[in-house]
Amino acid sequence: MLPVMLSVRGRSCLVVGGGGVALRKAESLLAEGALVTVVSPAPCPQVEALAGDGRIRLERRPYEAGEAAAYMLVFAATDDRAVNRQVFEDGQAARVWVNVADDPELCSFHVPARVRRGSLQIAVASSGEAPFATRRLRQALERRFGPEWGEWLRGAARVRDAVRGAGLPPAVQEKVFDRFFEATVDQQKLSARVPTEEEIAAWTGLDAPLVANDAPAETGEPPTTASGRDGRARVSLVGAGPGDPGLLTLRGRACLRLADAVVYDRLAAAALPSDLDGDVELHAVGKEAGNHPVPQDEINALLVRLARQGKRVVRLKGGDPFVFGRGGEEAEALAAAGIPFEVVPGVTAGVAAPAYAGIPVTHRRESVRVTLLTAHESAKEDGQQVRWDLLAADPHATLVGYMGVTSLPNVVRRLLAAGMNPSMPGAVIEQGTTSAQRVVRAPLADLAEAAAGAGINPPALFVIGPTSRHGATLDWRSGLALAGQRVVIAAPAGALGEALEASGAALVEVPLPVKPAARIVLGALPVTSCVVRSPVEVDALDGERDRPGWGRGVAAICLGAQTAARARAVGWPGVVELAENTDPVEVVSRLRGSAHAAPR
């Protein structure tokens, strides 16, 4: 079969069927701008919701012979093979392309498994012969190609625009493109980074950094027109909190609801609202230990470009924007460009992570001061900004170190050399406040070795001080029934969701159809279990299981015999069948017995 990329924007497409598979087909068409009609005598509630929102045209009736001829593209996804065959034969007669779900013989085209990173799409297909193989290959590619590739392709488009604007001859253009690719792509690791405006200017011979064609000139004045949802371009620097999405502030959530574009860090991904509108631009700018695929200067420039396009922009940052988050630098760049901005503080990990580990950072008569620092300072021999001698000599203070994994041995060495008591209590907290949180406790002299022995990885912080000793007795979280579990459930979760959260589960409520923001949230941390309440939910979530965040051992808690049967039919592992009206307490009990803590 010949692989093609088919534009369906503004074209009429038909989906025959109203269940979970049909829902997925309609969703994929809508994502590409198609005009979608769904024909089904009994559509599922999610399909009804799409119709209620005006996103699709819904005909509540059986398929009528010959009607496929009126459409450009047709999907058949009913549980009646005779109907599916009728749709296929009608399409053949009218020379209309038809795909019948899970029936390669009744297909004039196949939809490949796709990895999407912004506008970049990587397709894997087998002509319908071995879908299990393409699915697993897609899983591998999903994990190898990080979200930075979407921003990289946007950068490539800017390079192309700059080359065209510079009027370079074809031979020189190709040299610029080669230089861009060699400078930004690691072909061995399959990783990419975004070029800065200065790099693009240097490659193309421009005298000044590139300004996007759809942005006004650098005047220092705010934009005179705006397309933002509230009629005014603005950038909100929002703290997402330390990892638990419940710690995102109400003000931060309100900003996200109004956003036209969200620029988010890896550590802030879990705090995105899963039901964020599908037309909101999502820009992943990475930023994790040892990997900065989008340089800080380019993040600053991206915020300016988006605002100058008249958009309401949210810069979503882990923790608090002004606590080791470089939010001050971003605010300065916006101020220099004349872009209106606001700062929405967030809960910083230096206070929240210890609290989730049972460690109060202050305690009467024990600790009356808190020092927050970046552990990287311990590696500096000259020009240090930390007085280790003063910190070591203060027995009534709590020392909290951010980015503290690789630098912890240096910190311990400096504090001991400055005279701190080797038996001073300490702790290292990995992925604080999330379902993947781990805590290692040890006296100062043994802390680095204990963290290394436990395999602690970034992001993590350390707490050193007298109040660390309370962690063993005030650890309120690890004893909860579902502590360490991250449970997926279709929205709305209702009373069952409340019971899961009260038992310590990190709950991910996924709207159906699944929206882009929900996929980012799902991939932010490992999923341990999925609760499904209908065959429609099984089908709607089945296509998500090969994306980041899902492992092969994810348990499926199915409410109802039909739900369990559907889960087994599509190959879900670890199916646990419960009665449809099972009490939430019993669901919690079965989850505790069937699922495992998040993989480390």
What does the alpha-carbon distance between residue 411 and residue 18 come to, in Å, rounded to a whole number?
60
Q: What is the CA radius of gyration of the chain?
A: 27
130 exposure class (CB count in 10 Å sphere: 0-12, 13-18, 19+)? exposed
**Cα dihedral 566/538/116/434 (nearest 10):** -130
List, by residue number, the catalytic residues: 265, 287
pLDDT confidence of residue 132: 78
pLDDT of the residue at 275: 93
Distance (Å) of CA 534 to CA 489, 507, 539: 11, 18, 9
CA-based nearest residue to 159, from 180, 178, 174, 175: 180
CB atoms within 10 A of CB 190: 12
Cα(109)–Cα(392) distance, rounded to whole angstroms?
Answer: 69
Per the listing, tokens 């050193």 go with: 464
The secondary structure of the chain in percent helix, strand, coil, rounded to multiples of 5, reads 40, 20, 40
* Nearest in space to 116 (alpha carbons), one of 138, 101, 96, 134: 138
Write out the two tokens for 394.
């203060």
Contacts of residues 201-206 at CB distance under 8 Å and 24 or more positions apart, as own/partner, are 201/162, 203/159, 203/162, 203/176, 203/179, 204/159, 204/162, 204/163, 204/165, 204/166, 204/168, 204/176, 205/166, 205/168, 206/162, 206/166
The per-residue pLDDT for 218 is 41
User: 3-class secondary structure for 146-180?
Assistant: CCHHHHHHHHHHHHHHHHHHHCCCHHHHHHHHHHH
pLDDT for 543 equals 82
Q: Please tell me the predicted confidence (pLDDT) of residue 220.
A: 41
Both tokens assigned to 62: 């059986």
Which one, of 483, 484, 536, lies nearest residue 514 by Cα?
Answer: 536
What lies within 8 Å, CB to CB, of 381 at 6+ separation is none
Residues of the chain with pLDDT under 70: 128, 206-232, 287-291, 378-384, 594-600
Q: What is the pLDDT of residue 204?
A: 84
Q: Alpha-carbon distance 534 to 523, whole Å?
A: 23
SS (H, E, C) 543-574: CCCCCCCCCCCCEEEEECHHHHHHHHHCCCCC
- Among 309, 305, 310, 293, smallest CA distance to 334 is for 305
Q: At 263, give phi and psi (nearest 5°).
A: -110, 110
Q: How far is Cα 274 from Cα 257, in angstroms, rounded to an integer? A: 11
What is the number of other CB atoms lying within 10 angstroms of the CB of residue 45? Answer: 13
Please state, in angstroms and rounded to a whole number, the distance separating the CA atoms of residues 140 and 19.
Answer: 29
